[in-house]
Amino acid sequence: MIKDKKKYNILIIEDNPGDYLLIEEFIAENIYEPNIFHANNFKEARVFLKDPNNSFDIILMDLTLPDKRGDELVTEMVRFLPHCPIIILTGYADIDFSIQSISRGISDYLLKDELGASMLFKSIIYAIERKKSFLLVEESEKRYSNLFHLSPQPMWLHDSETLKFIQVNKAAIEHYGYSEALFLTMGLKDIQPAQIPFSNNEEKINRAQVGESTFTGSFNHVKKNGEIINVEVYCTDIMVKDRKCSSVIAVDVTERNQYEHKITKAIIKTQEEERYEIGGELHDNVCQILATSMISLGMMKKYIEPTAEQWFKNTKDYITMATDEIRNLSHRLAPAFFDDSNFEVAVEILLNTFNAADDYEITLQFDNKIGDEDLSLEMQLNLYRIVQEQLRNILKYAKATKITVDIFLLENMLILKLTDNGVGFILENAKSGIGLANMKRRAELFSGIFEIKSSPGNGCTITVSIPIPPKN
């Protein structure tokens, strides 16, 4: 028989000399030169265990010793050696006590009458390996616990199905302002801003959890004091006591986003001013030059030879076409409300200009209550550009015949919805487009949400939802 040549330090706690010799023989049958220590009672065992020079791989222990026995003995040994595997060898077959002992940390419970060399060897090896695995898991859990509780970033565990918080760290408590007790009565829905429907985030979360073990996304959360913050979350699925959970790190990017939005707004404002200036130059200067050219042509009419009359007429038509084209271009560059009109009129002009050839059946529904809101010119202009961008997409790709534009208030939200009955498209194929990215960016400048729904043969709908601050 091939023996295990690994060096094992084994402590046998046994007061019966015959049982000790038998156990020693069983061990020697399968282990080459084991290093065995023998204690006749608990007191002697403690001497071995307290010696810093001794380190044991396994302890074999009788359940009835002269100075300690039963439950008291098990309790003392597990408390004294929490990281060392212990096997009980006894002559008493008590199923309930054996189960209780194993649940408290004992590695195995063997009856002496049924004991054999092979059984004992297997039990020793299994106990040692199980304890190693347990210690590795315990160390991993300790490292995770330290990482979790000492992290400077807010972290939490939530149930993947109910979305209820299970555990939160100190950084989350301090940053969000909720006490730990209050946090544990809440779920993700409770840190969602009231003016943004939870379905928007819930759909995003659900999409992330289908077949994915990790997820990164951007959300809006609300602190206890009512402040709304932008966060980027890094989510990983983990199992906690057979319960599917999500471990989340939440990074507050509110200041970063505000800074980026300021830069973006400044860029867009500069672009709009340049467009307005160019549009004005085209309308006021170039159109005036063309108008003067038309007057000059009129003065030349009586000098035109009959053979050149058609050329004369064509020239006037070309100048008229150029004038109309420049006017349309200047209106696209500089919307009417930018100067002296309002949002509704600007959208109407945009739709009428877009449908000059009457190729589409266009319906505009504009909520009159919007006029009562103090919408910034900046917001109106960006909504106008979103409509303009989507109309451009419809013209280039949709092959639509019907277009519906709805602009209305819903609670504390301004909603812009634009729908067409065109050919539609696969969303994943279009998400990288510059046009969609521009519309999304314009909505996010005002803490808004940009959504798009489409599929082949089912047209397209874009929805922009922007929170409107309550009036003082």
What confidence category does residue 210 fall into, taking pLDDT thresholds of 50, 70 and 90? very low
Above 70 in pLDDT, residue 339? no
Give the three-class secondary structure for 92: coil
Angle, helices 377-393 vs 254-281, to 10°: value is: 70
Whole-number Å distance between alpha carbons of 65 and 50? 19
Under the banding of pLDDT at 50, 70 and 90, the label for residue 453 is: very high
**Measured in whole angstroms, how far is the alpha carbon of residue 448 from the centre of its chain?**
18
Q: Which one-letter amino acid corresponds to residue 190?
A: D
Contact predicate 133/156, CB 8 Å? no
Q: Is residue 4 helix, strand or coil?
A: strand
280: Cα separation from own chain's centroid: 46
Provide the pLDDT for residue 331: 66
pLDDT of the residue at 182: 96
- For 271-294, what is the mean pLDDT? 77
Whose tokens are 């199980």? That residue is 130
Mean pLDDT of the chain, nearest integer: 85
Provide the pLDDT for residue 1: 62
Of 159, 157, 185, 156, nearest in space to 172 by CA = 156
Once rounded to an integer, what is the mean pLDDT over residues 23-47? 91
Strand, helix or coil for residue 55: coil
Q: Are 159 and 166 in contact (CB under 8 A)?
A: yes
Q: Give the residue-averaged pLDDT of 28-35.
A: 89
Question: Is the separation of the CB atoms in 60 and 10 below 8 Å?
Answer: yes
Euclidean distance between CA atoms 368 and 379, whole angstroms: 17
Give the integer Cα–Cα distance in Å for 353 and 303.
38
Spatial separation of the C-alpha atoms in residues 50 and 324, rounded to whole Å? 100
Cα distances (Å, whole numbers) of residue 336 to 164, 195, 265, 269, 405: 50, 31, 20, 16, 19
156 Cβ contact list (under 8 Å, min separation 6): 165, 166, 167, 168, 169, 172, 183, 247, 248, 250
Q: How many CB atoms lie within 10 A of CB 235?
A: 20
> Residue 204: phi, psi to the nearest 5?
-65, -40
Question: What is the largest distance, in Å, between two alpha-carbon atoms of the chain?
Answer: 140
Q: Tell me the pLDDT band of 334, cut-offs 50, 70 and 90.
A: low
Query: Which pLDDT belongs to residue 109?
Result: 86
In whole angstroms, what is the distance from residue 363 CA to residue 357 CA?
16
> CA 366, CA 385: separation in Å to the nearest integer?
17
* Cβ-based neighbours of 33, under 8 Å, separated by 6 or more: 5, 7
- Residues 108-159: tens digit of each pLDDT: 888 888 888 889 999 898 888 888 887 777 777 677 777 788 889 999 999 9
How is the beta sheet containing 58-62 ordered, strand by strand? 35-39, 9-13, 58-62, 86-90, 108-111
DSSP string, 307-330: GGHHHHHHHHHHHHHHHHHHHHHH
CA 269 to chain centre: 32
Rounded average pLDDT over 306-335: 81
Q: E strand or H helix at 460, and its extent? A: strand 460-467
Instruction: Produce one character per residue of 153-187: b if its CB has 16 or more CB atoms within 10 Å, e if not.
Output: ebbbbbbbeebebbbbbebbbebbebeeeebeebb
Residue 466 scores a pLDDT above 70: yes
Q: Please state, in angstroms and rounded to a whole number, the distance separating the CA atoms of residues 119 and 26.
A: 9
Q: Other C-beta atoms within 10 Å of 123: how many? A: 20
The span from the CA of 296 to the CA of 288, in Å, is 12
Joined tokens for residue 336: 């009417």
φ and ψ of 290, to 5 deg:
-65, -40
**Residue 335 has what pLDDT?**
65
CA atoms within 13 Å, Cβ hemisphere of 305: 2
Helix spans in 250-394 (H): 254-281, 287-300, 309-333, 343-354, 377-393
Confidence at residue 191, expressed as pLDDT on a 0 to 100 scale: 93
| pLDDT > 80? residue 174 | yes
Q: pLDDT class for 199, splitting at 50, 70, 90? A: very low
State the pairing for strand pair 155-159/165-168: antiparallel
What one-letter code names the amino acid at 283?
H
